[in-house]
Structure 1
C-alpha cells in the first residue's frame, strides 16, 4: 500500500482554472498547473490547491467559482510515481479578467499533458451554474420525525471506510471519551453526509480525520447497515465503502475526536466496538451486502 508522511512532497494539490472559452490557465515557468503540498493550515486538499493558485498568480478567491459537483471532489487523481499522488481540482472564472495574468497562458484543453486529465475535463459539463468558492455549502434542514409509524421520514446517511492492510487487518479508530456518539469505543473512520455525495464525503473525511488520500475511483460500496437506535430515534443508513488503495499512513489530525488509529485482525476485533461496525465487518467477510439493526421483526 502506497504511503506518504504528513506534509511530504508525495502529495500535490493542483488548481485547474477554466475560462469562459473553455481554455485552461497554465504557468509558463515551470510549465504546469499551479500546485502545492498540503500544509498544517489547509483543512482540505482543495484549500491547498487554492493557496497555490493565489500565491502563484494574481487571481483572488473572488475571481473563482466551483461547479457544485466539484465542491469537495477532485476532478482527477493521478499516481505520478510510487507513493506520489496529484489531486487536481477544476475551478471556473467567475467573470472576465480586466487584464492578462503575467507569466501565464490560456491553453486549449487539447494541449494539456495528461491524457486522462484531458478526458475528464472534456467530459465536464461547463453549463451548470457555478458556486462561488468562498461561499459556504448550505446544510439541509432536519425535518421532525414522522408522527406515525410507517410515515415518511428522512434517514440520516453515514459513510464509513473499510480499509485493509497487506495482512488483511481492518483500520479502526478509538473515539474520544467526550465524543457525542460511542465515546471510548472503536469504530470505522466515518462521517455524516452534508450537501455532498457519499463518496465525496468519505474522501473529505478520510483526509480531515486521518490524513489519508483516496481516489474516488478506488472506492466501492461493500455493505449497508440500516440502523434504528431506539423507537424515538431517526433511522440511519450506514454506507460502508471498501478502499482498494490508500495514499498515506493514518495519523491523528483530530485528536479531540479520535485517540488512536490501529489495524485489527478481523478475527480478534477490539472491545468495545460500535455494534453496527462489527455487523458490517461480519457481513463483508461473509459476502453479504445488507444488514439491519434495531428494527422489530416484520
Structure 2
C-alpha cells in the first residue's frame, strides 16, 4: 500500500522517544514493521494500523462519535486506504467522512504537528478473526472559534458529542491530553519574510515545480519555513530559513502579520510573517532550494503563479509602503551623485534563443507601449540587478523558461536612440546555451504569441534593432549603433 514504510517507522521511532515506557506494549507493531507484509493493510494479521483524529475545540473539548458497529463512543477514525498519502491523511479523511469536518476547518498543533499523540493497541474479535488495531491518533484543533455544522454518516455513526479532556473515553488518550499543556490557543507554526527594497520591489522565490510533496510546487512564494526544535522564537525560525534557503541575512526583520495558508494536507496553517529591507542582487545569493530568486514589482503579481493569499498579502504591504527613499535616479534625468552632464542610459536585455536554425520571437500585443503589433525578442529592462539576473527573471516571467545565468553568453550590443529626445538605450542580446521549458504566454497583455522563425526568413513587421541584432549575430558582428544624429 505504501511505497515505503520509512515514514511509518519514523513516526513510531519518534513516538517511542517521547514515550519509552510503551515499547513493550507496541512490540507487536515493531514486529509487524520488520515483517514482509504491509502493516497499513487491513488484511494484515495478527494486527494492522488504523488512524484516528483527535479534534479539539477552543474550549478544550474532544469530538466523539457513537460507533454503530461497536456501540462505543470513540474519536473518529478507521482503516488506511491505498489513496492516503500519509497516516495523518487517513485521520483527516476519516473525520471528514464520518462528521463532515473538512481539513480546511482544522489546524495542527505545535506540540503534535509531527506525529501521533497516542498509539493505542485495541483487540478486535467481533465478526472477524481476532486481531489487533494499532491506532495512531493525530491531534487537530478547530481553526475557527466555533465548530462547523456536523454532517454525520448514518450507516456508521449514531451521534456526536464534545467531551472535556477528563471525560475522554480512551484512558491512554485522556492521560496524554491532560498532561499535554494544550490551552486552546492557536499559534503560528511557520515563519515567512516579506523582503522589499523600499522602492516598490519584492524578493520572491520560485519553488520547484516537480516536487508535489512540497507546499505550492511551481509557485512564486516568500522565503521561510517551519519552526525547528532549536528555534527559540519564530524570529529565529525566519532568520535560519533565510540563511539556509538563500544565504541571506536581513538585519532588521520585524513582525508584520499572522496569516493562514492551506497546507499540503489541506489543513489550515498559521504563519507569522515578518518584513525587512534588503537591496542586494538576488543572482549573487547561493540559492539552495527552489529554482529562482528575483525582484518583482506589484504590477507583475497578477501574472505570476502564486497562492491568492500570498498575492493579497503582498498587495496589502505594497499599498501600506509606497515606493520612496533615496535609491534610483532623480526625476530630471541625471543620476544622483553623477558628474554634471551625465545622462543615464536605459539598459535592456534580450534573449537570443536558437533551435535548429530558428530563433524565438514574440508578437507584441497591439496595445503595447513599445513595438505594438511587431515581432520582437523576449526582452526586459534592468532594475537594480545584473543583466543576466534580469534576463533570467524576464524569461521566466514572460515565457515560463528556466535558464541558469551561467548558460548565458553576450553575443550582440545595440546602442540606440529611438526618437529625438528619447533616453539613449543600451540593448544587450544574450544567447542561451541551455534552457528548460517550452515558451508559454505568461503575460498576454504584452505578448500574444511565441513562434520559431528561420534566421534567414524573419517575419514582418519586426522591431528594427532586433532584426539588426539577429543579422549581426549571424555574421559575427558584435555591435550595432542606430538612431544617433550624425
TM-score, structure 2 as length reference: 0.38
- The C-alpha deviation readout for 1:156-192, integer Å capped at 9, x for no partner, is 1111111112x12111000000000110000011111
Name the counterpart of 2:448: 259
Whether 1:68 aligns to 2:248 is no
SS at match of 1:68: coil
Name the counterpart of 2:175: none
Using the TM superposition, give the Cα deviation of residue 136 of structure 1 relative to its aligned residue in structure 2, in angstroms: 8.8
SS at match of 1:261: strand
Cα distance change, pair 257–289 in 1 and its aligned pair in 2 (3 A) = same
Using the TM superposition, give the Cα deviation of residue 65 of structure 1 relative to its aligned residue in structure 2, in angstroms: 7.7
- The C-alpha deviation readout for 1:17-65, integer Å capped at 9, x for no partner, is 9xxxxxxxxxxxxxxxx775214xx3xxxx2765898968987441788
1:37–1:48 Cα contact (<8 Å) kept: no
Runs of at least 4 residues of structure 1 off by over 3 A? 48-61, 63-67, 133-139
Name the counterpart of 1:163: 353
**Which residue of 404, 427, 430 corresponds with 1:241?**
430
Unaligned runs of 5+ in 1: 1-16, 18-33, 79-85, 91-132
1:160–1:241 Cα contact (<8 Å) kept: yes
Whether 1:273 aligns to 2:453 is no
Equivalences for residues 64-143 of structure 1 within 5 A: 68-70=280-282, 75-76=286-287, 87=291, 140-141=328-329, 143=331
Cα distance change, pair 74–263 in 1 and its aligned pair in 2 (3 A) = farther
1:228–1:235 Cα contact (<8 Å) kept: yes
Using the TM superposition, give the Cα deviation of residue 199 of structure 1 relative to its aligned residue in structure 2, in angstroms: 1.2
Alignment partners' CA distance in 2, 1:230 and 1:64? 41
Alignment partners' CA distance in 2, 1:142 and 1:282? 37
Whether 1:37 aligns to 2:249 is no
**Which residue of 415, 423, 439 corresponds with 1:250?**
439
Cα distance change, pair 223–141 in 1 and its aligned pair in 2 (3 A) = same
Counting matched residue pairs gives 208
Unaligned runs of 5+ in 2: 1-192, 194-213, 227-240, 242-260, 295-316, 335-339
Cα distance change, pair 267–142 in 1 and its aligned pair in 2 (3 A) = farther
1:140–1:194 Cα contact (<8 Å) kept: no
Cα distance change, pair 142–262 in 1 and its aligned pair in 2 (3 A) = farther
2:281–2:384 Cα contact (<8 Å) kept: no
Using the TM superposition, give the Cα deviation of residue 256 of structure 1 relative to its aligned residue in structure 2, in angstroms: 0.9
Cα distance change, pair 49–206 in 1 and its aligned pair in 2 (3 A) = farther
Whether 1:152 aligns to 2:339 is no
**Which residue of 395, 419, 425 corresponds with 1:230?**
419
SS at match of 1:247: coil
1:225–1:238 Cα contact (<8 Å) kept: yes
Whether 1:211 aligns to 2:397 is no
CA-atom RMSD, angstroms? 3.7
SS at match of 1:183: coil
Using the TM superposition, give the Cα deviation of residue 216 of structure 1 relative to its aligned residue in structure 2, in angstroms: 0.9
Alignment partners' CA distance in 2, 1:250 and 1:74? 26
2:419–2:483 Cα contact (<8 Å) kept: yes
Whether 1:186 aligns to 2:375 is yes
Cα distance change, pair 233–64 in 1 and its aligned pair in 2 (3 A) = closer
Alignment partners' CA distance in 1, 2:374 and 2:388? 25
Alignment partners' CA distance in 2, 1:169 and 1:193? 26
SS at match of 2:274: helix
Using the TM superposition, give the Cα deviation of residue 76 of structure 1 relative to its aligned residue in structure 2, in angstroms: 4.5
**Which structure has more RCO (C-alpha within 8 Å, separation ≥ 6)?**
1
Name the counterpart of 2:297: none
